Structure 1
Amino acid sequence: MAVKSHICLLGLIILCSLLTGTAGETRVFSSSGENVALACINALSDCTSTTWIYTKPRTSVTLELIHGGIKNKNIERAERLSLGSDCSLNIYKTTEDDHGRYTCQQYVNGQKHGTGAQIFLHVLHVSSSSTQTEMRSGSSVTLTCQLFSYEDSCSLFHTEDLQLFWVNQADVNLQTDSRYQILSSGQCIRTLTTILLNEDNNTELRCLVRIKNEIKTSASYIVNLGGKKS
């Protein structure tokens, strides 16, 4: 089932679909605006042994988010992070900047315990080329759907495994609709361009991520004709 990118209620954690990679690695898919819980599969009973480390994409820069069960309050997104009772890392209202590699490591008496569990968080985000006031009947709009992956090229996936595609409110694939021009810019980006009509107001367009015929997540865009209609 596709996961819509409606903002969740505070405190509700959305568990996104998982795709297991190689041993010790897990892939988690979310859309921007969702809450996500990253499970620490090697957690000990006492979360004071737990440290969560974030590795920024395409770099070797690492950042300790949680140390010994205590949140690092000196980072920009500290208010959106929390540690669950099961030692999971909870991220509130994910953004595209949250994508990357997360490692849950256990320390006992100051020594590493076991192998750190790695989680790759992929975030789907939809943006518009037009502001709300610029959107009106007769104007052109381009929506960009991008899956932010640990590597820009999405090289963690086989080409035949990963698909991004646009659908309307009735879940009809828009690739075959002549009203919409859909282009690919690399494996992880799909743009949709169309001329807006009066009846498009409040219409929902969704971009979905499908891997091996399984929908992992989706991101929605609601058309709002805020400008003067022709």
Structure 2
Amino acid sequence: MATNRCVLMVLLICSDCAYTGVKGDAIPTFFTSAGGQVTLPCTNVLSEDCSSTTWIYNNGGYSSGTTEEVGHGLVKPNSPTNRSKRLRVASNCSLNIANATAEDVGLYTCQQFLIEGAQQEGDDAPVYLAVLQMSASSEVTEIEPGSEVTLQCLLLTHDKCKRTVENKLKISWVDKENRELHRTSNRHIQTSSVCNITIAEKPVDLKPSERWRSWTCRLTADGQVKASTTYSIQVKASTEILEDRTVFIIVGVLVACLLSTILVIVVICKKRANSERRAQNNVNEIRLCDMASESNQPFANDQSTDDLLYASIDDHLNQEQSTNHARKSPVDTQMYSYLMPPSSDETENRGSVDHGGLYATVQK
């Protein structure tokens, strides 16, 4: 009886150890960089055609909930994560993830079900996925020498970089020869945590051939490189800066000349318009003077004033308004009509001549 109790206790202890291994450090972690590709292995495959393989996903510390990404060897097209186009089941039932993003970080578990709705066969085969991500403080693609560039490299894990990978990782900045970068007068490196490192640098003393400047964030685990991501930016040469400034000056001068020309043209046009207006006014004044002079000349000889008959028709037309006119204005108005004696032919043809339409008004 005592022997059975010992065996039972050993089984319980072993069961507890296995449980701790599944949930603790025994779960392997796989790494990739943002935009990269990663393959998560399934170690408990039962059917070679993957018809029994199911992959479930839980993003751990970022949000709660578990989703089924693969069922019986087929990617779920209506998964809530909306990434079915980036998932693929390999021939060995591993899960391939393309174009990895921060949303892919979490716990992936491979399970086996012989038929749909049946109980699970065997144990879980869980793996963690962590993504190395780099971001720049500015989105510019070209800078001048001496301009500062600030980059942040961040490792995203299921537990926000706590216990699981805390003592196994190292993030560092390296150059194109994979030599680790250190602080200098033009370079500042800050490590906020084992999963967060920042660099701020002013590219100076570049060689003429160095048109591009690159920074690489490298992740190592257990002394091995697991992932890396690189950021590159173009640095203008001194001659290009001089050319840009020269072009800017030339454009500024041209614009100033154009504006000055437009201003001169406007002034000239205004002066011409004023001159033409004054000339036209002079012509009108001359015409008025000529007309006034002609009106004071006597009638032609063949039509002497002795032959004209004048008659005052003011009393006839303005009899009712004479009193009002006298009140409104001191100027007397008389209306006269001049009558030309009819010719003999007209006298013969007409008994009388209508002079009602010929009259003039004179103010004095």
When residues 187 and 80 of structure 1 are mapped into structure 2, their CA distance, relative to the original with a 3 A threshold, is same
Q: CA RMSD in A?
A: 2.2
- Number of the residue aligned with 1:202: 212
How many Å separate the matches in 2 of 1:207 and 1:63? 32
- Number of the residue aligned with 1:183: 190
> What pairs with 1:39-118 in structure 2 (closer than 5 Å)?
39-44=41-46, 45-58=48-61, 59-75=63-79, 76-109=82-115, 110-118=118-126
How many Å separate the matches in 2 of 1:42 and 1:229? 61
Scaled by the length of structure 1, the TM-score of the pair is 0.82
How many Å separate the matches in 1 of 2:58 and 2:133? 20
Residue-by-residue CA offset, 1:161-220 (whole Å, 9 max, x unaligned): 321100111222112444321111222000010113473642221111122322222111
- Number of the residue aligned with 1:222: 232
> What pairs with 1:155-174 in structure 2 (closer than 5 Å)?
155-159=163-167, 161-174=168-181
When residues 202 and 86 of structure 1 are mapped into structure 2, their CA distance, relative to the original with a 3 A threshold, is same
The unaligned stretches of length 5 or more in structure 2 are: 1-23, 243-364
Specify which structure has the bigger relative contact order, considering alpha-carbon pairs within 8 angstroms and separated by 6 or more residues. 1
How many Å separate the matches in 2 of 1:171 and 1:178? 21
Counterpart contact for 1:154–1:187, Cα < 8 Å = no
Counterpart contact for 2:142–2:234, Cα < 8 Å = no
Q: Highest Rg: 1 or 2?
A: 2
Higher strand proportion: 1
- Residues paired across the two proteins, number: 208
When residues 119 and 180 of structure 1 are mapped into structure 2, their CA distance, relative to the original with a 3 A threshold, is same
Scaled by the length of structure 2, the TM-score of the pair is 0.53
Counterpart contact for 1:32–1:94, Cα < 8 Å = yes
Give aligned-pair identity as a percent.
Answer: 34
How many Å separate the matches in 2 of 1:97 and 1:225? 33
Which amino acid in 2 is paired with 1:122? Answer: A
Which amino acid in 1 is paired with 2:131? Answer: V
How many Å separate the matches in 1 of 2:235 and 2:141? 8
Counterpart contact for 2:111–2:123, Cα < 8 Å = yes
How many Å separate the matches in 1 of 2:110 and 2:98? 18
Which amino acid in 2 is paired with 1:202? Answer: W
1:145 and 2:159 are equivalent in the alignment: no
Q: 2:35 aligns with which of 18, 30, 33?
A: 33
When residues 229 and 152 of structure 1 are mapped into structure 2, their CA distance, relative to the original with a 3 A threshold, is farther
Which amino acid in 1 is paired with 2:132? Answer: L
How many Å separate the matches in 2 of 1:171 and 1:209? 12
When residues 37 and 137 of structure 1 are mapped into structure 2, their CA distance, relative to the original with a 3 A threshold, is same
When residues 220 and 66 of structure 1 are mapped into structure 2, their CA distance, relative to the original with a 3 A threshold, is same
How many Å separate the matches in 1 of 2:180 and 2:134? 17
How many Å separate the matches in 2 of 1:156 and 1:47? 30
Which amino acid in 2 is paired with 1:137? Answer: P
Which amino acid in 1 is paired with 2:38? Answer: V
Counterpart contact for 2:213–2:235, Cα < 8 Å = no
Q: Following TM superposition, by how much is the alpha carbon of 1:134 offset from its aligned partner in structure 2, in angstroms?
A: 6.5
